[in-house]
Each structure stands twice: as structure tokens, then as C-alpha cells.
Chain A
Amino acid sequence: MSKEWPLWEIFIRGQNGMSHRHVGSLHAPDAETAILNARDVYTRRNEGVSIWAVQAADITASSPSDKGPLYEPSEAKVYRHPTFFDIPDDVGAM
């Protein structure tokens, strides 16, 4: 009969002005309990002002084997970086 509580991924906003950041996971029967558990597990020392809980099963992740097709195209586009362009010193800061 026993069924394991689902896994939740926990994201914490450290302080206002920062984005939520993944801190780890935990088990909880539902979203409300996930937030309560996250408070006990991940914010015992004022680490956060806001918590997101997302059921791990709902996350779609890219696969490490897609690394090539996904990220290699941008390696060829060095002109996206400002240092690609030589601007004479005489022009001043740009």
C-alpha cells in the first residue's frame, strides 16, 4: 500500500533583487507540504525570502548528448561578443 511521496525540486530567492535558484530536492505529498518542508530543510539560517516548489516529474530537461546540436552553433558566432570588433582607442569608451 505504501507509496513514496513524490519528489519536488526546490528553488529559493535569497533576497529580493535576486532570482530564485535551485537548492536541491525533497519529498512531500503535495505542493503546500513541499513548501513547508523546504522551509525546514533549506532555510534554517535565513537563506531565503521566497520558495518555489516544482514537482520533479514536471521538469523537462535537455539531454547531455544534445550538447553538440544545442550549443555548438553559438561557438561559431564569435561576433556576438563585443570584443570581436576592434574599435580604435581614439573613439573613446564604447
Chain B
Amino acid sequence: MYAQMVKSTGHGVKSRAEMSAEEAHFQDRIDAGEKIEPKDWMPDGYRATLIRQIAQHAHSEVVGQLPEGNWVTRAPTLERKAILLAKVQDEAGHGLYLYCAAETLGVSRDELTDALLDGSMKYSSIFNYPTLTWADIGAVGWLVDGAAIMNQVPLQRTSFGPYSRAMIRICKEESFHQRQGFDIMMKMAQGTEAQRRMAQDALNRFWYPSLMMFGPSDKDSVHSAQSVAWKIKINTNDELRQKFVDQTVPQAAYLGLSIPDPELELNDDTGHYDFSEPDWSEFFAVLKGNGPCNTDRMDARQKAWDDGAWVRDGLMAHAEKRNARTAAE
């Protein structure tokens, strides 16, 4: 989802027999539900996987500001504008909570930024889609933040203390995001015929990209078993995707909008909706950098980083000069 395709060690789960005494003790602590804190001993693979996962999540929050920021100046009313600004500011905050969790693992903020900008670290595929109309802002809040919540709520129980605490904070704030999105969708769906068409169009375009957020099907996701054993992945991709569909279909019905999937049907035997898989070749193409907005997003991040350099350097130079003066006195 916000962290897609994060490979852990690249091997299967280590068996007890393969573990060193330290690793076995570590696994015992996790199995007993203990939290791991930054200075505790941890396997290198646990540390490396967590850095990749948390950083990818942080990058997603930060890049996720771009499609919505696109509409701040064009929100239909002053109230909507203030709400959208507050939401975009929250996304910046969420990125910062997560970067600081990643930094406790011994990586620096600048290293993480560099990795985003040079493409060696990814952000969620969803933010490479454009927000073409105001209804898209509704769809992003309702569907994208809705999918994010599905993933983030269980991650509050993740084994790494700082990550868990960041998730708890984020989840507290995320519900506002989804509700404001649904509120926009309600207004549009109950509005004029043209507004209703915009709402349906936004749902049509964001439905499958939202399903992709959870990552490929479990049968193709061979690297998650170790992350599950370490409790840095709590549910499988398919479990979360199913939960999301089950929750969202009735909400779409309430709006009077139709999900763009002719195969969608409640399965009486399972009690869950059967639905069509997204086009995974599109997902992999977007991850590779070939989505509609990948270049725009990275250009915007690079520009923000470059244009901000003189501010970062200037404030640092000023602080150092003042510290030197204070020390001399």
C-alpha cells in the first residue's frame, strides 16, 4: 500500500535451527508481543527492511501532497480550501513522523531524501495518477485515504516501537481525511447531473489504482513471510484488499455511484464481494516510472529540494555563527 513491494531479506523465513542465539531471543521477544526499541539488538535484515518500508511510507506521504496541493488554489469555496490545506499539512506531518521513526534506525534524513530523488527508494504507485477535477479530491480522500487506513490500523501493532507510535498518531488524524473526501463525494453525487458525472468519472479512474495500493496478490508476493514473522507486516495484501472492497462497495451504493467492475458481486458463500483484479502490468509500469505523473512528481520534489537549499544552508550558517558568538562570550 503506502509501502508496496518492500522486499525483506530476499530469502524465506529463517527457521529456528538457522537462527543464532541472538536471533532466537529476538524472535521470542516479538512472538511474546514485546516492542523492539531503537537501541535494542536486532537482525540486520529487520533493520534494513524497516528502513525501506518506513522510508517508502514517508516518501508516499510527502509526494502524496502533490496531487492534492494541485487543487488548493482552485477549491470551490474558502471552507473547502481551508480543509484541503489542513489535510495537505497533515500529510507533511505524517511524512515527518515517519522519517523520524526511520532515523532511529541509524539512517539520516538527507540519505532518505537522496534515495527518493535518485529513484533508489520508491513511493506509492497511487500518487503517479493525476487529479483532473475537484471530484478527484473527493475520490482521493475517500478511496486512497480509505485504503491507507486499512493498512495503517493493523500497523499500529507493529513490533518496532517508533513505527508503531508514528502509526498511532497517523491513524488518529487519517479518519478526518477519509471523511472529508466522502463529504466531497456526497456533495458531488447529490449535485447537478454534470457534478454527478464528475464524481462517477473520478471513481472510475481511481478504483483500480486504489486496489493496486495493497500490492500484488499474495501468491506473487514471495518476500512477505519474513516480514510477517517479524510483525512488520500484519495482514496479507489480499486480505486488506478484500476488506477494502467489502467496506467501499456499500459506500458507493450510498452515493448512487457504480463501481467500474462488471464482475463485482456479493458471494453468498463467503460473505465477501468477488471482484476483478487490477491490471498488474499497469502497476509494474507505474512503479518502474512510467505512470502518467511520475516525471512531474519527481521534478516537483527535486525542485523543492534544490530551491530550498539556500534556506537550509543560510539558517544553518546563521545558527553556527550565533553559537560561535555565544561560546566566545
Q: Interface on A for B, CB 8 Å cutoff?
A: 1-5, 7, 24-27, 29-30, 33, 40-41, 44-45, 61, 63-64
On whether the beta carbons of B309 and A2 are closer than 8 Å, the reply is yes
Known: A29-B312, A64-B40. 17 other contacts (CB 8 A): A2-B110, A2-B309, A3-B313, A4-B110, A7-B103, A24-B100, A24-B166, A24-B169, A29-B319, A30-B318, A30-B319, A40-B89, A44-B90, A44-B173, A61-B39, A63-B39, A64-B39
Contacting residue for A2 out of B37, B173, B312, CB 8 A: B312
Does the CB pair A25–B103 fall under 8 Å?
Answer: yes
Q: Are B93 and A3 in contact (CB under 8 A)?
A: no
24 contacts between A and B (CB under 8 A): A1-B313, A2-B312, A3-B316, A4-B110, A5-B312, A5-B315, A7-B103, A24-B97, A24-B100, A24-B165, A24-B166, A24-B169, A26-B100, A29-B316, A30-B315, A30-B318, A30-B319, A30-B322, A41-B96, A44-B89, A44-B90, A45-B173, A63-B39, A64-B37
CB distance from B89 to the nearest CB of A (A): 7
Is B109's CB within 8 Å of the partner chain A?
A: yes
Q: Which of A4, A33, A44 contacts B108 (CB 8 A)?
A: A4
Q: How far is the CA of A4 from the CA of B111 in the complex (A)?
A: 10
List CB contacts (< 8 Å) of B102-119 with chain A. Answer: 103, 108-110
Asked if B280 lies at the interface with its beta carbon under 8 angstroms from chain A, I say no
- In contact, B315 and A29 (Cβ under 8 angstroms): yes
With a cutoff of 8 Å between Cβ atoms, the chain A residues found around residue B166 in the complex are 24
Q: Which residues of A contact B39 (CB under 8 A)?
A: 61, 63-64
- Contact partner of A33 among B93, B173, B315, CB < 8 A? B315
Q: Which residues of B contact A40 (CB under 8 A)?
A: 89, 93
In the complex, the chain A residue whose C-beta lies closest to that of B111 is A4
Q: Could you tell me which B residues sit within 8 Å of A by CB distance? A: 37, 39-41, 86, 89-90, 93, 96-97, 100, 103, 108-110, 165-166, 169, 173, 309, 312-313, 315-316, 318-319, 322-323
Q: Note all chain B residues with C-beta closer than 8 A to A61.
A: 39
What residue of chain A has the Cβ atom nearest to residue B37's Cβ? A64
Residues of A within 8 A of B315 (CB): 5, 29-30, 33
- Least distance between A54 CB and chain B CB atoms (Å): 14
How far apart sit A21 and B100, CA to CA, in the bound complex (Å)? 16
Q: How far is the CA of A1 from the CA of B320 in the complex (A)?
A: 13
The answer to whether B319 touches A25 (Cβ under 8 A) is: no
How far apart are the CA atoms of A26 and B312 in the complex, in Å?
A: 14
Which residue on B lies nearest to A42, using beta carbons? Answer: B93
Most buried by A among B37, B173, B313, B319: B319
CB-based contact A4/B100 at 8 Å: no
Residues of chain A within 8 A (CB-CB) of B100 are 7, 24-26
On whether the beta carbons of B316 and A5 are closer than 8 Å, the reply is yes
Minimum CB–CB distance for B103 against chain A, Å:
7
Q: Closest Cβ of chain A: how far from B46's Cβ, in Å?
A: 15
Q: For residue B323, which residues in chain A have a CB less than 8 angstroms away from its CB?
A: 30
**Bound form: Cα–Cα A3–B108 in Å:** 11
Q: How far is the CB of A29 from chain B (nearest CB, A)?
A: 4
Provide the bound-state CA to CA distance between A25 and B90, in Å: 16
Give chain A nearest CB distance to B227 CB in angstroms.
Answer: 23
> A18 to B94, alpha carbons, bound, how many Å?
25
* Docked complex Cα distance between A27 and B323 (Å): 17
How many Å lie between the Cα of A25 and that of B104 in the bound state? 10
A44-B103 Cα distance, complex, nearest whole Å: 22
**Closest chain A CB from B175 CB (angstroms):** 12
Contacts of B165 in A (CB 8 A): 24
**7 residue pairs, one from A and one from B, having the closest CB atoms:** A29-B315, A30-B319, A29-B319, A25-B100, A4-B110, A29-B316, A64-B40
